[in-house]
Amino acid sequence: MPQPGLAQLSLELPATEPVEAPPRPPLHRATPLAPRPLCLTLGEAARIMREAVKDKSYRSTPVGLEVAHFIRWFRNEYGATAETLRDYEAILSKLALDHADLELTDFEPPAGTTRLREFIDERWGEAAPRTRKKVRAVLMSFFRWAQGEFKLQGNPVVPIRSPRLRDIERPLFDRDVVDRLMAAQLELRDRVALKLLFLIGIRKGSLAQLRLKDFDLGRRRVRVHSKGGKIRNLPLPTEELRQELELLILGRDPNEYLLFPEVKAPRWQKGQVSGEDKAEIAVVHANRLKPLSSTALHRWWYRCLQRAGVVEPGQTKGMKMHAARYTAGTEFYLATGDIRATQQLLGHEDIGTTANIYVQPNEASLERKLAEIYEAGDADNDSARPR
């Protein structure tokens, strides 16, 4: 029988809801690891860098914003050409992306000079001295502008010495190789472009900017847009070239470029042919009012060389287009012996550039001159001997 005190006590207690016990931690379970930072491959990083230049997103960095101001000044007040602006932006965008966490004032010398030395060594340490000299010139222009705009007190590029230039081998094309190169081209515009390179030695950038309206067939002249925005009128050297241009220009828009981008594909992909003709190539799209980019012009050059068997299929380096300009200058000088006329043809301000770099007497001409000297001396000695 229950005791009365215990019953009374149980009646006086308030009713409470059951409370769940807290969950016990799992036994012998490792603590979850923190998420690892995202790692990019070299290819992904390179793609991001290229896209940052194309879409101008590098300008979102502090240094990139100053680069944008410099490019605008360089175009509007200095008058730089589109090609020069492209070259400068390619270098300065790398400076902005590699130092995205820094302000422009962080490049005050001497610390800024050290940073720039490391930047040049990291990016162009294995490049040719001429390339590193060009990089230094671009950086010098940018930081000189920044100093002139009172954004910096000193120029960090001044203590960096220009690399010593060493003589390099400048290959020339033999005449039979040039003839084979011309004969291998199926399209008329390719033959015309190659003749302009090898006969009058126009630059790569000038070739890309040539429009059909730049050719004056009546006066046998071609208008060439050279470095620094200069415009020169050069003669068309042969009647054959003039006739080829006449066929090329006939019925065409004068604003079309001589070389323009094309998209090509096998005709069987378009359902036009079948069977043995599947390898035939058709033009899918062509923008005749747009010039070839520097990269596209580089590929065009090596396609021409591959058609003639000058380089191996797939080769894209080792035979620069500028060698055609060296060949044109050398051949013209050897034929005329006139260094001033050669300077005028190539458009050099300094005749020393023409004489020391572009005019390269070959071994055959040296042998011929030596023979003329010593054979003439032998003839004089024979005539002076008593008979």
The pLDDT value recorded for residue 57 is: 86
Tens of pLDDT, residues 329-376? 999 998 888 999 999 999 998 998 888 888 766 666 677 777 888 876
Most confident of 2-16, 146-160, 226-240, 275-289: 146-160
Say what the pLDDT of residue 66 is: 96
Closest Cα partner for 349 from 226, 210, 234, 235? 226
Instruction: Examine the pLDDT at 13 and tell me if it is beyond 50.
Output: no
Give the pLDDT of residue 235: 95
Beta carbons of 290 and 273 less than 8 angstroms apart: no
Pick the CATH number of 175-358 from 1.10.443.10, 3.40.50.11030, 2.60.40.1180, 1.10.10.10: 1.10.443.10
Per-domain residue ranges of the chain: 44-148, 175-358
Taking residues 133-137, what's their average pLDDT? Answer: 95
Percent share of the chain, pLDDT over 90: 57
Tell me the average pLDDT across 27-54.
Answer: 59
Over range 268-290, report the average pLDDT.
63
Q: pLDDT tens, 89-110? A: 999 999 999 999 999 999 999 9
> What number of other Cβ atoms are within 10 A of residue 266's Cβ?
14
- Give the residue ranges of DSSP H helices in 74-128: 82-98, 111-124
Task: Please tell me the distance from the alpha carbon of residue 199 to that of residue 182, in angstroms, as a whole number.
Answer: 12
CA distance 303 to 309: 10
What average pLDDT does the structure give for the chain?
Answer: 83
Count, residues in the chain = 387
**Residue 115 pLDDT > 60, yes or no?**
yes
Span 135-156, average pLDDT = 96
pLDDT higher than threshold 70 for residue 23:
no
- Whether the pLDDT of residue 312 is over 90: the answer is yes
d(CA 243, CA 211): 17
